[in-house]
Each structure stands twice: as C-alpha cells, then as structure tokens.
Amino acid sequence: MSKVEVRASRLWRALEIIGGVIVIGAALVALADPQFVVNAFVIVIAAGLVIGGLFRISVGAFATVLPSTLRALNTAGGVIALVLGIVALLDLQAAVMTLITILALALLLVGAFEIGVGVARHPPAWLRASILALGVLTIILAGTVILNPSIGQGIIGALLALALLLLGLRNLVHGITGHHPIARAIDTAVTAA
C-alpha cells in the first residue's frame, strides 16, 4: 500500500476553511474570557450527568429483563448522577472549583509518581533528571492551583483555547492546500518495471 495525494473537492475545502475560521474565532473567545470557557465546560459535564442519570434511572425502573441487583445499581447510580448534575448546574462556581481541585489533586499524584520514576535507577541519568524536574514542576503547578483555583481556571481556559487554535489552523491549512493522502495499492505493472 502506498499513499497518494489527491485534491479535495471545492466544497470540502470551503467547509474546512469556514470550520477553521469558526474554531479560531472560538479560540479567541476562549482566550479573551477563560471563565466563560470553564463554565461552558462544567455545564456540558453537568448536562451529561443529568441526561445519563435519567437514562440510568429509566433502565433501573423499566428494564425488567435485568436482575434486580443490576436494576437497583442502575437506579442508584442514576440518582447520584442526576443529583450531582443538578447541583453543578445550580452552583456553577462551586462546581468549577471542585473540578479544578480534583484535577489539581490528580496532577499532584502524577507529579509524585514522576518523582518516584525519576528516583528509580532504571533510565539513564539524564532521563531521570528530566523526569524528576517534570515531577517537581507538576507538583508546583498542582500546589499553586490548589492554593489559588482561579489560576487553574486560567490555565484550563488557555489550554482549551490553544487546542482550539491548533485545530482551527489545521483545518485552514487543509482547506487551503486541499491535499489529503489516501491509501492505494501499488499497481503490479509499475512495480515489475
């Protein structure tokens, strides 16, 4: 199999360019107002919890083919998800702080594990030093976010904006160049020559 470059249709290229511009616009909004992005992120998560909770509750209530234990677990899990989703929607700021604190605690654990790997004698010395430095920086970042969660909001907003910006630029480049590689079997007459 070889890769052959083909040009996309004009309509597809136009859609990629328009999509790229829209995504870059969203990235600029995210950079301008990280609080909006973080709140939107929490709203999406909370809405997912509410919808998933309602689904689980209905499975527990109406899926008579399931054993009673599974029905009870579905109902209990659904009620918990529904309550958490509603609470998050009612108090977005508390939900944002809780989410940021959970992420910071997870980063704290990741930093501690990195330091543990850096202390191990398995990798070469230069790699151990790099891993140790990464672990220490991760712990410092996590500790800073735990002490001041508003910094965490800015970091999350900036990372989401950067991801959107890169995605938008990729779409623009693909739309402008129009090149897309496709896999194609090499013709035997070509390879025999």
Mean pLDDT by 10 residues, the chain (193 residues): 66 86 86 82 91 94 90 94 94 87 86 85 79 88 84 78 82 76 57 52
Non-local (6+) Cβ contacts of 99 within 8 A are 42, 45
Q: pTM surpassing 0.85?
A: no
Return the domain boundaries, the chain: 2-192
In whole angstroms, what separates CA 166 from the centre of its chain?
14
DSSP SS3 for 82: helix
Instruction: Say if strands 2-7 and 179-184 run parallel, antiparallel, or are unpaired.
Output: antiparallel
Residue 89 CA to residue 44 CA, distance in Å, equals 10
What is the pLDDT, as a whole number, of residue 144? 86
The answer to whether the CB of 167 falls within 8 A of the CB of 24 is: no
Long-range contacts of 132-135 (CB under 8 A, 24+ apart): 135/111
What is the pLDDT, as a whole number, of residue 127? 81
In whole angstroms, what separates CA 190 from the centre of its chain?
45
In whole angstroms, what separates CA 12 from the centre of its chain?
26
